[in-house]
Amino acid sequence: MSMNTQGRPTSAGEAAATAHKTFTGNKALDMEEPLIFEIGRTDICGVDLDEVEDFQPRLGKHERKSEIGLVGLSEPETMRHYVRLSRNNYAIDAGLYPLGSCTMKHNPRLNEKMARLPGFGDIHPLQPISTTAGAFELIDELARWLMETTGTSAVAMSPKAGAHGEQCGMMAIKKALEARGEPRSIVLVPESAHGTNPATAALLGYKVVAIPAREDGTVDVSAVQEKLDLYKGEVAALMLTNPNTCGLFEPQVVEIAKAIHDAGAYFYCDGANFNAIVGKARPGDLGIDAMHINLHKTFSTPHGGGGPGSGPVVLSDRLAPFAPLPFIRKNGSELEVIETRDQLVEGEDPFGRMTAFHGQMGMFVRALSYMLSHGSDGLKQASEDAVLNANYVRVGLQDLMTLPYGEKPCMHEVLFDDTFLDGTGVTTLDFAKAMIDEGYHPMTMYFPLVVHGAMLIEPTESESRASLDLFVATLRDLVMSAKSGETERFAGAPYHAPRRRLDETSAARKPILKWTPPAPAQVEPLVPAE
């Protein structure tokens, strides 16, 4: 058997394996799973239900006339279908998930245990408030930790994701400007920003003006000042990510905050990268007015693939009065739930409401469980380890891959560009697809847009040194392969995934959104020839 430099068996026997086609299309544990509509039938029911006697429908003319069209599967058939599908899923529990800007970290199982405690897990938003004191206490305790770690004095808990939090923070800013009697029309956003930043500003009717990045990938206070002067009295806010999406801490963030405030505008900070600085720097001390915290990134919780999100927004004193309903007011040790405007007191002027209820309870439990089990020293260490791991990857690859901003320390993620692929005939996309064959989820590709062919790697603190070593060795092997002209390895990749390279253009331009039944599959038993 041949081995790679890591002592792992390589492709011996592979040719034989691919040549041998199976009857079912399955490849051992890799199952070819059809759609549920293809395996089930609509005319059968997976469970035995008694005929209901004397059934009197009470829906009147709303009663369904046609068949419902759902397939009937038994419990084991249903289980198998979803378990087989789930095996095609990449997850942080399956391997390193280096998706930059997403902080795909391990979610401690203790969090899950806490979130499933019946008192939290079974709680219903419409049950009487007299029965939910514990839940409100938990939300209040989590709020206290969020304010403590960010150095702020207010937090809106209800937003359900980072982007939703951006909307919340920017609506508070809009309301504050209106309250001052000077609505403004422009929001400044650096070129390296996540797409949700300009989208949020545009959604609220602002004109977005881009701030160019400096040679070193950070924002220059003079570039901000230039726009503030150009659009005097019109700039509502700056939306800045810190650490930024190039994995760098903005060195002039304090000066930038001052310039923004001197111009009567507000400083919105995108806090998606908070994992790099928890316990090290408090955004409130840096002068932010509003910042969302992606609980599902910084404070664990399984996310991606539609998992739950939660994006509480911490607010400065200047924005605190405009925090949305509902919220919890603390009177000494008493917690009062403020649901409606008639409960407001002097100084409270909410801009409105983001969600029907109080937010993502399951995530609140997970985040607080994560915080309490780490403690303040543990949270700080997690950030330090996240930064250390990213720099370990940087140093392991910087001689072979290209760092757009030079060989200097990064925060919790390291940004490469695709200059190292010049002349190889291998594209950034090919490189990502070849990583899939090696069993890795690719890093974030083509973002941020400020560098060509961006590859943004965020290993997080979850990875051991052994895991990082194997990842670095794998990428080194891929780079060497590209540089020595082995384009085959990339051009058709992924070779080993359940699906090969998809036609992404057709998928985007001509999506097939409606399933139509194929001719029923016939499995004919084979009979020996006479």
Q: With contacts defined by CB under 6 A, name the span among 29-37, 113-121, 158-166, 173-181 that binds ligand PLP.
A: 158-166
| CA pair distance 499, 85, nearest whole angstrom | 13
> In 3-state terms, what secondary structure has residue 97?
coil
Pick 462 or 481: Cβ nearer ligand PLP = 462
**x/- track of binding to ligand PLP for residues 306-325 (CB under 6 A):** ---x-x--------------
> In 3-state terms, what secondary structure has residue 76?
helix
| CA pair distance 173, 192, nearest whole angstrom | 22
CB 328 within 8 A of CB 335: yes
Q: Rule CB under 6 A: is residue 270 a binding residue for ligand PLP?
A: yes
Pick 194 or 433: Cβ nearer ligand PLP = 194
DSSP state of 484: T
Q: CB within 8 A of 286, min separation 6: which ones?
A: 242, 253, 254, 257, 269
Pick 81 or 194: Cβ nearer ligand PLP = 194
Q: With contacts defined by CB under 6 A, name the span among 83-91, 159-167, 181-189, 314-322 that binds ligand PLP.
A: 159-167
Q: With contacts defined by CB under 6 A, name the span among 79-87, 156-164, 246-254, 339-347 that binds ligand PLP.
A: 156-164
> In 3-state terms, what secondary structure has residue 511?
coil
**Shortest distance in whole angstroms from residue 196 CB to ligand PLP:** 4
**x/- track of binding to ligand PLP for residues 169-198 (CB under 6 A):** -------------------------x-x--
The interface with ligand PLP within residues 93-132 (CB under 6 A) comprises: 101
**Shortest distance in whole angstroms from residue 271 CB to ligand PLP:** 8
Q: Rule CB under 6 A: is residue 163 a binding residue for ligand PLP?
A: yes
Positive or negative, the Cα torsion across 500, 504, 509, 514?
positive
Pick 223 or 456: Cβ nearer ligand PLP = 456
**Shortest distance in whole angstroms from residue 127 CB to ligand PLP:** 28
Pick 101 or 391: Cβ nearer ligand PLP = 101
| CA pair distance 272, 448, nearest whole angstrom | 14
Residue 193 half-sphere exposure, CB side, CA atoms within 13 Å? 28
**Shortest distance in whole angstroms from residue 213 CB to ligand PLP:** 15
Q: Rule CB under 6 A: is residue 161 a binding residue for ligand PLP?
A: yes
CB 315 within 8 A of CB 290: yes
- Site residue total, ligand PLP (CB under 6 A): 13
Q: Rule CB under 6 A: is residue 241 a binding residue for ligand PLP?
A: yes
| CA pair distance 461, 370, nearest whole angstrom | 14
**Shortest distance in whole angstroms from residue 276 CB to ligand PLP:** 12
- Exposure pattern of 150-189 as b/e (b: 16+ CB <10 Å)? bebebbbbbbbbbbbbbbbbbbbbbbbbeeeeeebebbbb
Query: How far lies 364's CA from each of 121, 130, 143, 438, in Å?
Result: 11, 20, 9, 36
Pick 295 or 493: Cβ nearer ligand PLP = 295
Q: Rule CB under 6 A: is residue 272 a binding residue for ligand PLP?
A: yes
Q: Rule CB under 6 A: is residue 245 a binding residue for ligand PLP?
A: yes
| CA pair distance 298, 102, nearest whole angstrom | 9
Pick 446 or 495: Cβ nearer ligand PLP = 446
Which residue(s) pair with 266 in the sheet?
237
Pick 231 or 268: Cβ nearer ligand PLP = 268
**Shortest distance in whole angstroms from residue 372 CB to ligand PLP:** 23
Q: CB within 8 A of 215, min separation 6: which ones?
A: 405
**Shortest distance in whole angstroms from residue 46 CB to ligand PLP:** 36
Instruction: Kindly tell me which residue out of 294, 298, 300, 360 binds ligand PLP, with binding defined by CB under 6 A.
Output: 294
Which residue(s) pair with 31 in the sheet?
none
Tell me the residue number closest to ligand PLP, measured at CB. 162
CA 136 to chain centre: 26
Q: With contacts defined by CB under 6 A, name the span among 43-51, 160-168, 226-234, 393-401 that binds ligand PLP.
A: 160-168
Q: CB within 8 A of 513, min separation 6: which ones?
A: none
Token pair of 334, please? 């008493």
Kindly list the residues in this chain that would bind ligand PLP in the complex (CB under 6 A). Answer: 101, 161-163, 194, 196, 241, 245, 270, 272, 294, 309, 311
